[in-house]
Amino acid sequence: MPIQYLLSSANTRGFGVIKLLGTAFCDAATAVYDHSILMDVSWEPGFAGMPLYLCVSGSEGGELELKVDPRTGALLRFIVIISPPETVELAVPRAATSLSQTVTVDRSLWEPVRNDYDPSVAYLEEPLSLNRSGDWVEVAFSNNPTAHHVWADQVRVGITPDHTLATIGATCAPAPEVVFLT
């Protein structure tokens, strides 16, 4: 198993089960990458306290982390830690709305406590894939069709007809380079 501490199959939810409850307005979203992280998306404003963590392992490879507001379920951050397998190239999408939104995640993934390590962390396995076109990068969480999207700046979240997470995509800019003074 990709994650050493992945729960036994009796404690995981299976495939295609990141259930969404709706959307929440946000001020902005940013997406960056660097030499070690393919995509790091943040929705603003963030949450000052301890978020809920959802660690997603791809059934054919890939590791993702989602951070969720424990009060509202709003998706706060999405990080591609290990890239899932690439599938097809996409046409670069364009924002369809000026509304700035994120999705709200069903927090029942964290109830009852699903691990002995930390109740704020949940684990899933999904059939992940990666699609890209130029600086547009998109992670698909299943093979289910996307019914509609929500946008925040150059970040797009796809939602299936049965209100589960389908995709997260973004135009990714390079992260600012850190310069050490000697």
The per-residue pLDDT for 46 is: 75
Beta strands 86-89 and 75-82, pairing class: unpaired
Cβ contacts of residue 160 below 8 Å, gap of 6+? 16, 142, 144, 145, 146, 147, 166
Query: pLDDT of 69-91, one tens digit each?
Result: 999 999 999 999 999 999 876 66
Query: pLDDT of 99-115, one tens digit each?
Result: 799 999 999 988 765 55
d(CA 86, CA 99): 30
Query: With 60 as the cut, is the pLDDT of residue 8 above it?
Result: no
The per-residue pLDDT for 52 is: 94
- What's this model's pTM, rounded to 2 decimal places? 0.83
Query: pLDDT of 34-56, one tens digit each?
Result: 878 889 999 998 777 899 999 99
Helical spans, DSSP H, in the chain? none
